[in-house]
Amino acid sequence: MEAHIKPLLLHAHATGPNPIKIAIALEALHIPFNVKFWDFSDDPNTGVKGSSFLSINENGRVPALEDPNTGVVSWESGACMNYIRRVYDLGNLIGPPGGSAQDLVDFEKWEYFLLSTLGPMTGQVNWFRHYHSQKNDDALQRYVAQTYRCYDVLEGQLKKSGGSSILPSRVTAVDYHFEPWVRQHGFAGLSLENYPLITKWLGLMGCREEVREAYCKIQKK
Ligand SMILES: N[C@@H](CCC(=O)N[C@@H](CS)C(=O)NCC(=O)O)C(=O)O
């Protein structure tokens, strides 16, 4: 199928976790894509807050995804992921494993939990640990506690598969959403010591071909 598909263009940053999810999904579906790297500045040509990038995503954040096959431009990793699934995952390799109303909700609730909670809480830990101009230990501890609370929830869910996948029956795009955020726990100064199933799941994810290929592409600046 990929022979007929023109490469998509994934707008990314060398270390930010959100674009990697999309690269993993594209690799899983064997969709050809190129990567354009941006920095976090407001430089008009190179930065996500500069005029070139803002004409693609007015929110000034990566990922954004351009598809020359359809002319569709998407941004927000959830929207990019679901666009890819609707257009390119016709065999349902990475979507909800079952078709019941409960199956669809189960997929979406874990996807939204990452997008609205685990990802942003970890992002705030990173902010207050590494980037905020003043030390603010209250804020840091609040976001650390919230991220560990998310880890508790995830650890509980992983019991259903023995640590193989977040939805019990197989790896899906939900795992792709979580993988880069959990992988960066060390940068956030968080430990997986109390989370044996998250540790196991992360190890298994790291061995998957689509994950390895995605990291090669995103880190190959
Ligand atoms: N909710 C967005 C978040 C995107 C996001 O925060 N991306 C980061 C990189 S992982 C970014 O572009 N940061 C630039 C900035 O904070 O200025 C999504 O899921 O795509």
- DSSP-assigned letters across all residues of 154-186: HHHHHGGGTTS-SSSSS--HHHHHHHHHHHTTT
Low-confidence ranges of the chain (pLDDT < 50): 221
* Separation of alpha carbons 17 and 218, rounded Å: 10
- Quote the Cα angle for 9-39-59, to 5°: 70
Nearest Cα residue to atom 17 of ligand 1: 40
Q: Are 205 and 184 in contact (CB under 8 A)?
A: no
Helix, strand, coil share of the chain (percent; to 5): 55, 10, 35
Report how far Cα 170 is from the mean position of its chain's Cα atoms.
18
123 CA closest ligand 1 atom index: 6
* Separation of alpha carbons 29 and 92, rounded Å: 10
- Decide whether any atom of ligand 1 lies within 6 Å of the 82 Cβ: no
Ligand 1 geometric centre to CA of 63 (Å): 7
- Decide whether any atom of ligand 1 lies within 6 Å of the 164 Cβ: no
Q: What's the pLDDT score for residue 221?
A: 46
Q: What's the pLDDT score for residue 219?
A: 81
Q: Are 20 and 219 in contact (CB under 8 A)?
A: no
C-alpha distances in angstroms, 79 versus 48, 63, 74, 90, 153?
18, 10, 6, 17, 24
16 CA closest ligand 1 atom index: 10
* Separation of alpha carbons 169 and 97, rounded Å: 7
Ligand 1 geometric centre to CA of 91 (Å): 30
Q: What's the pLDDT score for residue 1?
A: 54
- Decide whether any atom of ligand 1 lies within 6 Å of the 40 Cβ: yes
Ligand 1 geometric centre to CA of 99 (Å): 31
